[in-house]
Structure 1
Amino acid sequence: MRSTPLFVMSIVGGAVALFLALLALAFFILRSPPPPRLAFEQSSCTPSAEWNPVFLSEPGALRRMADGWFVEGASALGTHVCQGGTLVVDMQPDGGPGAPALTVLLDGQQLGRYFAPTRRTVTIEVPHAGALQLAYLNDYYRADVRSVEIREVRTNVLGCQLLTPAKPLSDPQNVYVPQSDLLALFQPEPVAYQACGAGALSFRMMGHPGNGSFPIVEARQEGKTLAKFTASAEWRVFKVPVRAGLVTLQFINPYARETEDRNLVLNRVSWTPR
């Protein structure tokens, strides 16, 4: 299991990019990055071939084990060998679906690509000195995530029809995008809105199911539940009577479960120079 949260997001392109990302996230998270440019800068070689991370697609993608490495994200190890020799790698899959693949490169040129459907040992002849890399590039990850999106929170009270969250969100897994007035919730954080008078509070909401159930959002004021609303796959408008003061909307049934995660275990990596 990955050490990072299943559904942490980055806002990189404004409201449209976020909205599309949220739609995709509800069904699956697929990480299959294009082959990176594996740069390795080391002026001197090491006879013992000391391996170090040279590419990480995310924090924690590579973890050191007693005699090897646990690889749970697209990443690469690198060393600089002083001469040609023989590289032996004992590796095995962890999770799935499909077999993880180890790509071996010398000075950026591929020497071979080796799949590990079961535990196996591969032997690679390295023809000359240079920058040697072991890359895992066919990572795959999928999760079942329940989430909800809310926008256009309004009241029918003159002077404060358009409402925005009264304070910044505290949970980094929840996101509010002011440019599009889009609130995306993955965790049960109460989001407060300031109603300046008695009237009807309305908002548009849609959700993505997780474990077969849609999100439920609870409206509360002064410690009391005003109503509970169940989202659907389509945008719908919901209304609830409120008084003047703070009103909170809270996603009360979050759900996230990792369903598939392909990883690679490098049990042992040995180097024998000629």
Structure 2
Amino acid sequence: MSTTTRALSLGALPLVAVLGLAVLTGRSIQPSELKVGSPAVAACAQPPVFKPGYQRGKDYVVRQGKGYHFGGEAWVEATVCSAGTLAVTAYGELGGVEEPQLTVALNGDILASITFDHERTVQIQLPEAGEVIVAYLNDFYATDSRVIFLRDIKLSGTGCQDLQKIQFVKGKGIDLDPAAHTASLASGVPLTFTPCRAGELQVLALGRKGRSALPILKISEGGAVLYQRPVGTTWRPLRLNVQQRPLTLQLVNPYWKTLADRNLIVSKLNFTPNPPSAR
């Protein structure tokens, strides 16, 4: 069985993600490293309004009721006007060996990292005004699936290399980057494009097994099948003579089974300011 997993790594995070939290290094980030000024307390609101601040992928954090569903590495953020108590009600959907973990930071300093296996409410003391980040960063996702990876998609010789009239259904198991000449097929949904000229189509292909079987790639031109074979687990060149007509690439035997999916659901976020000091 072949599996694919998704987990957080420092190299995968953009700089903006590292600026907000130092979870991976276990240290507090100094204001000079953040390259921002003092907390924007003037822009605060009571109660504070939490909004998504970073998502590693589309819809990794979505609004759910009075809280948020974290389906991948992401965080929400708000600005608080004063010191106080942040009450967080959350529960986890288990996957892998770890429990979902919620991390709370204020002005770049990590205040708490709390795991959730069932719904409960925790309280975190915020010692000052400033920017609060509530993050989920230990996501885990594993599947047993058949996938075809394609790279160096090009036409032999000199001349144009463009893929024209590209057609596929987004979010249906197809990933295509025409500029990088790469693609992946993880469902039976077809990918269609037209080469900018006739010639020899050259592709490097690699397959990942699912349920112990190799994926099968079919390439058709104008309804005629030019190629239909299993794709092995090492990169192999594929060459086909093609015309300037629509080409359809398709994974013939799709298979996808989710093995584990760790998520965090934050039901409520409530902030209570500290009472004014007695004069």
* Same structural fold, with TM-score higher than 0.5 when normalized by the shorter chain: yes
> SS of 2:77's equivalent?
strand
Name the structure 1 match of 2:190: 188
Match of residue 277 from structure 2: none
CA distance in 1, matches of 2:58, 2:182: 26
Q: Which moved more, 1:25-34 or 1:256-265?
A: 25-34
CA distance 1:95–1:201, change in 2 (3 Å)? same
Does the C-alpha gap of structure 1 residues 100 and 219 become closer, same or farther in structure 2, counting only changes over 3 Å? closer
**Residues 139-150 of structure 1 correspond to what in structure 2 (within 5 A)?**
139-143=139-143, 144-149=145-150
Contact map agreement 2:150 2:206 (CA 8 A) in 1: yes
Q: CA deviation at 1:115?
A: 0.9
Contact 2:93 2:117 in 1 (8 A): no
Counterpart-to-counterpart distance in 2, 1:152 and 1:71: 35
C-alpha deviation, 1:231, in angstroms: 1.7
Does structure 2 retain, via aligned residues, the 8 Å contact 1:229–1:238? no
1:36 aligns with 2:18: yes
Aligned twin of 1:167: 164
Task: Specify every segment of 5 or more residues in structure 2 that has no aligned partner in the other structure, as ranges.
Answer: 21-35, 275-279
Distance 2:155 2:76 in 1: 53
Matches within 5 A, 1:51-62: 51-62=50-61
Written as runs of structure 1 = structure 2, the 5 A alignment for 1:78-89 is 78-89=77-88
| CA distance 1:79–1:151, shift in 2 (3 Å) | closer
Q: TM-score normalized by structure 2?
A: 0.66
Mapping of residues 61-210 of structure 1, within 5 Å: 61-97=60-96, 98-143=98-143, 144-149=145-150, 167-171=164-168, 173-175=174-176, 184-186=183-185, 187-190=189-192, 205-210=205-210
Amino acid at match of 2:60: A
Residues 246-270 of structure 1, C-alpha deviations (whole Å, 9 max, x = no match) = 5846334244454432211111122
Whether the 8 Å contact between 1:30 and 1:142 is mirrored in structure 2 is: no
TM-score of the pair, normalised by structure 1: 0.67
Q: How many residues align?
A: 240
**Structure 1: tracts of 5 or more residues without a match:** 1-24
Identical aligned pairs, as a percentage? 22
| Residue in structure 1 matched with residue 31 of structure 2 by the alignment | none
The whole-number CA distance in structure 1 between the counterparts of 2:132 and 2:154 is 56
1:116-142, Cα deviation, whole Å (9 max, x unpaired): 122222122222333222122222233
